[in-house]
């Protein structure tokens, strides 16, 4: 089955199961939104089904795969997705994770609650073309605390 159809089927199954659904959006769906989706599905999978998309999807950053793998979360088979894939899906919550996504994603084709929860992009470094794995670990831990904690409160 095609990866896009799998995602839409997963969304439909989550709704049928009565799970809360959340869509994480960032520019490239390569770092922050992928990480947020994986963390929520791993830690809150019994109550929440998380999805992610980008405005201009890129390739998943390999450091994201590494730091999630360090805590037992495997996303090595995941693919990036465009926000357009989820048009028509009625999420319980949409969370934008970067200011570009928040600015560019002003119109989503439903009236779902949308909040902005910005996180620093670890690919942007003071040193051009030089990022540390520790930056990705810090992002992972910060997202785990803020996002997972926030969604537990929303339940």
φ, ψ of residue 91 to 5 degrees: the values are -75, 150
Residue 89 annotated as catalytic: no
User: Is 3.40.50.2300 the CATH number for 3-149?
Assistant: yes
The pLDDT of residue 92? 93
Residue spans of the domains in the chain: they are: 3-149
**For residues 24 and 37, is the Cβ–Cβ distance under 8 A?**
yes
The edge-to-edge listing of strands for the beta sheet with 93-96 is 48-54, 20-26, 93-96, 114-116
The pLDDT of residue 1? 58
Whole-model pTM: value is 0.90
The pLDDT of residue 125? 60
The pLDDT of residue 77? 94
**For residues 75 and 38, is the Cβ–Cβ distance under 8 A?**
yes
The pLDDT of residue 87? 87
Residue 105 annotated as catalytic: yes
The pLDDT of residue 3? 79
**For residues 55 and 83, is the Cβ–Cβ distance under 8 A?**
yes
Query: Which residues fall within 8 angstroms of residue 21, CB to CB, at 6 or more apart?
Result: 11, 14, 15, 48, 49, 50, 51, 89, 91, 92, 93
Chunked mean pLDDT (size 10), the chain, 155 residues: 87 97 93 97 97 93 96 96 91 85 54 82 64 89 96 87
The pLDDT of residue 113? 76
Residue 26 annotated as catalytic: yes
Of 19, 67, 95, 98, which is the active-site residue? 98
Of 65, 101, 105, 151, which is the active-site residue? 105
Of 22, 26, 30, 36, which is the active-site residue? 26
């Amino acid at each position: 089955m095609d990866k896009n159809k799998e995602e839409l089927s997963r969304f439909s199954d989550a709704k049928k199961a009565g799970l809360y659904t959340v869509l994480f959006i960032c520019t490239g769906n390569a770092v922050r939104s992928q990480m947020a989706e994986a963390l929520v599905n791993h830690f809150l999978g019994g109550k929440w089904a998380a999805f992610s998309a980008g405005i201009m999807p890129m390739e998943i950053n390999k450091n994201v795969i590494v730091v999630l793998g360090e805590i037992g979360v495997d996303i090595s088979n995941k693919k990036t997705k465009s926000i357009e894939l989820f048009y028509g899906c009625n999420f319980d919550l949409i969370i934008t994770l970067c200011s570009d996504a928040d600015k560019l994603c002003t119109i989503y084709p439903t009236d779902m609650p949308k909040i902005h929860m910005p996180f620093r992009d670890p690919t942007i470094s003071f040193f051009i073309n030089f990022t540390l794995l520790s930056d990705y670990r810090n992002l992972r831990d910060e997202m785990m605390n803020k996002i997972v904690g926030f969604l537990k409160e929303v339940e």
